Amino acid sequence: MTEQSLGNVQAQSVGNTALENNCAAVLSIADTVRTTLGPKGLDKLLVDELGNRFITNDGATIMLSVKTVHPVAKLVVEIADRQEEKVGDGTTTAVVLAAEMIKEGNRLITDIGIHPTLIVRGIELGIQRSIELFKQMAIKINVEDAGLAQVISTAAGSRMDGGQVVSLVSDALGFLKKPNGKKGMINLKKSIFLINNPMLDDRVFDGIVIQKQLFGQQIPDNLDNTKAVLLKIDLKEIKESLVKEMKNYDEIVRMKERQTKMTKEISDSICETGAGIVFMASAHADEQLLANLLEENVLMIHVSNEELLNIANTLDVQVVRRKEDIGEISVGTFKSVYYDEENGLFFLENHAQRKMVTIIIGGVTKVTSQERWRTVKDGISAAQSALNDGIVAGGGAVELCISEKLKEENSNSGVDSIGIEVVAHALSGIMRQILTNAGFNGFEKMAEIKNKSGEYGIDISTGKEINMFEAGVVDSAGIKINALKSAAEIVKAVLRIDRILIAHSPHNAVIGKSANETNFNDK
């Protein structure tokens, strides 16, 4: 063997070692969540540095809690975070898809010697075709369809207190589809407000609930047809320290007079609207303004920016943000306002404007309350995605069908067929993992339905073939599409890495140790 060919062999060996190292890191982090997939998935006990602990099988929570120093493992965590932020569910699916594609890609590169560029090109084609098939098989629905409740049940039913949580989300949707009897798109994330408090009982309220303890204000037991004004104006009082620094007494008097005049103008403008409540999102407010409003029996309630926006969305009114606009205040009306002094809760019932529903999520402990809150969020996210992009059969049925279609279409695709096979292998891995988590032999059960349409899967309780739509096992097509896109991004990046470099600065990277010598510990 010549010296040049020996050098090429050594270079290829170093590159393969880097790939194997990265592949091992991805598989290691994926193994932490793959056992949570499906209705029979297992839970994880997470413990932080302070000893705080909670139990969950939510993929996003687990991934974002795992500590790792391996750079590629961190990429997987970032993909999970992106999936959670964009669609709110499907994190575990994205991670499992990425792990399966990387594992198969590593085998093709290391064992068979296929160049990564060829595999990546085929993966891109496979992903593109898979997305087309997902969209073709998706069934459009609206908020009135029974399929929406099935999506929520599939997303949240297997989680802690899943049945109760599904009922809460379904009840909330029932309130949202009442006004005007209109069908069509609803932004659930802007229409459903969540309160997580283990001291409270589960409840769905047709309106907004604000957690606020009020002191020094006399709160009526109930206010009907109450008008509300929304302010986000900085109304700080004149600081005593500023007064002490000013030596001119006349200037101090004029400053206080201007402040008093401005406060009077604001309070008078508010009272002229007939408002009974003022919601203020500013951190500070002039005490004189509070006193002026109390004299007119107008409540002033400090709320967060998020709560103020929720109220504005419900009442369909503008928030006053400048003192110059105080003369053009718009008001909205709540059907009723009730204050629960014992729990410190304001119940603001919807009127004829836009709908806003609040789900109060309780729990036996803080840990269970948080997990139930995450379950509600997943149910809402799945429902929103289903409204946007339609529904497909769940349980890995649609992925297995698309996997088989890719294999059939791939028979004459030439060199690109290698990467397409990688995508097909990963898609079939979803049902295989769900069945494995349920105690079945995934390969054996999948062989029974390979030639079926995308509606058929395996009943994880009996092991028998069933129609997923008839069984109510339904998923959002949008979540699956986004999971596939997210997984593809990290796969293409990892398979093309042939060296691990140590960068001393953004502009000065030098070659470090080979991958097998670099100590990246995946904790």
Q: What confidence tens digit (pLDDT) does each residue in 374-411 have?
A: 888 888 988 899 999 999 999 999 999 999 999 888 87
Kindly indicate whether the domain formed by 3-139+391-511 is annotated with CATH number 1.10.560.10: yes
Residue with tokens 């540095």: 49
CB 126 within 8 A of CB 425: no
In this predicted model, what pLDDT tens digit does every residue of 177-226 receive, in sequence order? Answer: 754 444 446 788 788 889 988 888 899 999 889 888 765 566 666 788 88
Q: What pTM was estimated for this model as a whole?
A: 0.77
Domains 3-139+391-511 and 207-354 share a fold: no
In this predicted model, what pLDDT tens digit does every residue of 292-316 receive, in sequence order? Answer: 888 888 888 888 888 888 888 888 8
* C-alpha–C-alpha distance, residues 512 and 502, integer Å: 5
Cα-based distances in Å from 306 to 293, 313, 372, 492:
24, 11, 21, 38
Nearest Cα to 129, choosing from 477, 455, 399, 402?
Answer: 402
Query: What count of other Cβ atoms lies within 10 Å of the Cβ of residue 220?
Result: 13
Torsion of CA 119, 122, 127, 129, to 10 degrees: -160
**Tokens representing 128?**
């593109």
Pick left, alpha or beta for residue 419 (phi over 0 → left; psi -120 to 50 → alpha; otherwise beta): alpha
What DSSP string describes 453-513?
-TTEEE-TTT--EEEHHHHT-EEEHHHHHHHHHHHHHHHHHHHT----EEEEETTEEEE-S
What stretches of 15-106 adopt beta strand conformation (E)?
A: 44-47, 53-56
Cβ contacts of residue 115 below 8 Å, gap of 6+?
Answer: 109
Averaged pLDDT score across all residues of the chain: 81
pLDDT grade, residue 416 (50/70/90)?
confident
For the chain, the structural domain boundaries read: 3-139+391-511, 146-205+361-389, 207-354
* pLDDT at 203 (0 to 100): 92
Handedness of CA 351, 357, 363, 366 (dihedral sign): negative
**Tokens representing 265?**
């103008």
Q: Which CATH number fits domain 207-354: 3.40.50.1820, 3.50.50.60, 3.50.7.10, 3.40.50.720?
A: 3.50.7.10
* C-alpha–C-alpha distance, residues 459 and 439, integer Å: 12
* pLDDT at 5 (0 to 100): 37
Nearest Cα to 359, choosing from 135, 245, 205, 518?
Answer: 205
